[in-house]
Amino acid sequence: MGGSQRRLDAVEACLWQGDLEGAVKLFDDWPHERVDRFIAYLTKHRHRIVNYSYYQAEGISIGSGEIESTVKQIGRRVKISGAQWHEDNVQQVLKHRCAYLNHQFSD
């Protein structure tokens, strides 16, 4: 995209923290077609851009490999041989499992 490395580093820091408005603001005085496309991309995908620093601080993996592995593991548990799962109950089981893993289950 060009521009100073300092500005690009600042934009990266904003995006890492989920601060899209701050990232866009850093481009206010930089009229360029690539900048316009980048801002359009951020605007279109803002619902998918998360605060990565928060997840990292909480020890939550954001790597797709580990996430995909966890999804497969849950899928295998739901399909345990001999177990009978009613489709309406699976969501509740997953909520309980997440609460347990997040130490949010009351004794």
What is the pLDDT, as a whole number, of residue 95?
84
Q: Which residue has the higher pLDDT, 92 or 33?
A: 33
What is the pLDDT, as a whole number, of residue 107?
53
Per-domain residue ranges of the chain: 5-54, 63-101
| Predicted structure pTM score | 0.52
pLDDT at 100 over 70: yes
pLDDT at 81 over 80: no
CA distances to 9, 13, 32, 80 from 26, in Å: 11, 11, 13, 52
Q: 53-76, pLDDT tens digit by residue?
A: 888 888 877 777 777 787 788 777
Q: Are 11 and 39 in contact (CB under 8 A)?
A: no
